[in-house]
Amino acid sequence: MALSLEEVRRIAGLARLRLSADEERTFAVQLSAILDHVRQLEELDVSGVEPMTHALAAGESPALRADTVEPSLAPAEALAAAPAREGTCFKVPRIIE
C-alpha cells in the first residue's frame, strides 16, 4: 500500500521536518516498502497478548527517588551550548500564541 505524498507531508509536519520535493518522493517510496514489510504482523493472532511496553521485568526496578533538592547547574553551564541567549534565557524567534 503506497503512502501518498500528502500523508508524507502530514507526517513531516508533525515531526517538524522540512523535506525537499525529492525527499518527499523518495520517502514515500521507501516508507511504503517498509510498511508493506511490517504488514506481515497482521498474520499473527495477538488476541489476549499483553504488549511488552516495559523491557525490565516488574520486580527488577529500583525504588523511587527521595524528595531532596540536589544542586542545579549554574546558568552559565546550562546556557553554555545555547545557540542564542538573552540574559539567562534561551532566545528563540518570536512565539506567537
Task: State in angstroms the smallest separation of the CB of 77 from other proteins.
Answer: 5
> Which of residues 2, 11, 21, 25 is near other proteins by CB under 8 A?
11
Using the rule CB under 8 A, is 78 a contact of other proteins? yes
Using the rule CB under 8 A, is 17 a contact of other proteins? yes
Using the rule CB under 8 A, is 62 a contact of other proteins? yes
For residue 84, what is the DSSP state? Answer: S
The HSE-up count of residue 8 (CA atoms within 13 Å, CB side) is 20
**Tally of residues, the chain:** 97
**By the 8 A CB rule, do 8 and 31 touch?**
yes
Task: State in angstroms the smallest separation of the CB of 5 from other proteins.
Answer: 13
Using the rule CB under 8 A, is 18 a contact of other proteins? yes
